[in-house]
Chains A and B, each alone.
Chain A
Amino acid sequence: MGAFDFLLQGLATAAEPMMLLYALIGVTLGTAVGVLPGIGPALTVALLLPVTYRLDAAGSLIMFAGIYYGGMYGGSTTSILLNTPGESASIITALEGNKMARKGRGGPALATAAIGSFIAGLIATLLLAFLAPWIVKVALVFGPREYFALMVLAFVTVSAAFGDSALRGLTSLFLGLALACVGIDQLTGQARLEFGVPVLLDGIEVTTMAVAMFAVGEALFIAGQRIHIDDELTAVKGSIWMSASDWARSWKPWLRGTFIGFPIGAMPAGGAEIGTFLSYATEKKLSKHPEEFGHGAIEGVAGPEAANNASAAGTLVPLLTLGLPTSATAAIMLAGFQQFGLQPGPLLFATNPTLVWGLIASLLIANFMLLVLNLPLIGLWVKLLTVPKPWLYAGILLFATLGTIGANPSTFELGMLLGFGVLGYGMRLFGYPIAPIVVGLILGPMAEQHLRRALSISQGDWGYLVQSPIAAVLLGIAALALIVPLILRARGKGEMLSQLAGDED
């Protein structure tokens, strides 16, 4: 069967009433968190991990993907109407979108953002569907050493390649790797780092860690920042629909934004923001009306909004085909797969095609839902901003605590949630990225297993790890990703590489 047949099968799964309900909940929650500044999809998915523990795996994952897509849609609303980006990927939208709104063209700005997001999401999801089987075919020949090399590459790119400080990123990563060693050794059955505490023999629960770092730590950090939105909301005047000229000026930026955002989203540590800035710069260069940029050019909204949605689908390419998270939300989604005993990667396409293709197809449906939800309900989304912030943060902490206790009813688990939550807050406060610690905890045991298997095959010969061309290339790229930024920093260009590893979207 080809990708198209699998996609049709997936559509049949995703169109089941319960799956549609999960997708609707996901996109609604996603849009809401996208609208609210400071709260992102990573935090929301982390918060929902323990709650979905006993639910249907496919439904939960469809909901998580809906949150991710919805977050990208929702961020543009406050960017355009309030000049306050709900998401970091919507910063550039505020530049032209708010100027359009102030000129009484808020409707077309919101429309080009929503339709551009829809088209980009649609094309990028189809690209994901048709590219994934090819990558899976390549990945199926991977042995333990290739997988180990792939994980080393993931570790380096997420923690050190674009980090403000490679040391901080690597510290966070090694903390995660150390925590991953806690519990019973899967190969020898020996207890490790359990310090005589029997509960620790089961290891550190990834879900608890993810909730603590991304929900508790982030909520404390955002609450500590005292975000105030005191700007006046720009009312949407006139027609919400785009004129013929708006359509003519938008369709090319939508397409270009899609093809810029998708590969950057798939790139390790790429994130959605780089694509939006690149798309803006490209549109300004190619526009027939460059003088309008900075005064409300519709191309400056259409391109970046398409780019940020395409990047979300791009992120799912390495996650689903190789099991590699390239952003914080992807890392949390990986934890989501693992809580249902699933391991994303080439084998998942063979062992659980209904789930994988159902998930991919659900993105197409989520896109339609988002288009319908976003434009007519703008007033409702903007009202969310009136929710008092202390209520919101208290709600997040309460939900995180109840969810964790519900999934693992023990005081020890609650203690871990609070302890790691405070650690996450401290790390954010002192500029340590939190994505590497979670990636280390999730991928650490797999990397260890593959390394030990490879060394067993080679009877302890470490040279075996670089004797495969694929593994050698992957390790070479990882070494370059570690060394080149150090050289650039030494030459005083370090600022351009800072903190991308900690991409929280």
Chain B
Amino acid sequence: MRFQQSNLTHLNPIVSRRSRLAAATRAQTSAQPKASRRDDLEITDLRMFPLVEPVSRRRYTVLKVQTKSGIVGYGETVVVHPEDLELAKQLVLGRAATAYEVLRQGLAAFPSLQAAVNMALLDILGQFSRAPIYQFLGGPTRNKARVLMPLSGDSDGALVASLRGAQATGIRAFVVPTPASTAPNHGQSFVSVVRERLEALRTAGGEEVDFVLDAAGTLSPGDAASLAAALERFHLLWFDEPCRLTSLTALRKIASETVTPLGLGRHIYRSGDFQDLLREDAIDVLRPDLAMNGLTQIRKMAALAESYYVAVAPFHAGGPIGTAAALHLAASLPNFFIQQIPIPVAEADRKMRSDLVSGWEERAQEGFAPLPAGSGLGVTINEPALEKYRLADA
């Protein structure tokens, strides 16, 4: 029998270049079939467009995948190193787009590229099959997707203003940052500051608005535990990234002391790490980052969570192509709860996002976003806009 070992001990978002190269070589030498029967879906080129939003300076990369058939697919991820793209090309060019799961394995050492390639290949397959991605994946499981948006601002006042502006988008659930942490173990004074912030927002937003409190992994386990316990009756949707994901023991302590749901996972790129958290009863909402996992990997994480009666709420801090992909994912999953969409405050940033997808809008009505219509991703990518907003120094 196997030794059960905590995967969390290996949790390290930075994969060394040497190990990536080794993995790439291994993947290449293994007996993997080239595209043979559906030659028209053979992958012929990968191109990336590093983009930056003019005001927020938010960066993301759009990946364009071309096939012999002429069908082109798009995916999105965070920043990609050009050297990694070249390595990915060695693994992917000449292969069939249909072998997307085989290629996911081959690209496992490059999480960001793996994710973008996966989205782009599903876009291609949806177009080939004349079906929206959610239908290609066995959906729809729902006809619209509940959405969540981060508020921005350094002070309670700025966050209240951000909430008032954001309510016009039709979104009804918001991510609220914890105040800056000045020292570990602030104790009661920190709890009071957070409580004031949340109460100001609830007063401004009304009873129908819901909140996720995001500590972004900045708190000590002790502070996170006191906060989670103190806020139980505020009924947060959940408390996100209460502390760093370095110790299962610390997380288990927080989870065992409170009924406030806990969300974790924006830095998790492997199902096994979620399995540890689920097995330890330390997680209520799986939050894999769309840009670092892609659709298929999150679907596998969701399958795991399903057997624990736990839901998935993918993290997404990128662009509109990622948003479209996320909505397809949502409509393919049985245990989807809510999708984070980063809608910028500045008009210039919103215009860029809309330009990239030829006017498709990231919007919601009464808290839910409609599903994109049409085959593949269901949005039309505007290539001149990709060039226009391309990061100058990349």
A binds B: no
Contacts from A to B (Cβ < 8 Å): none
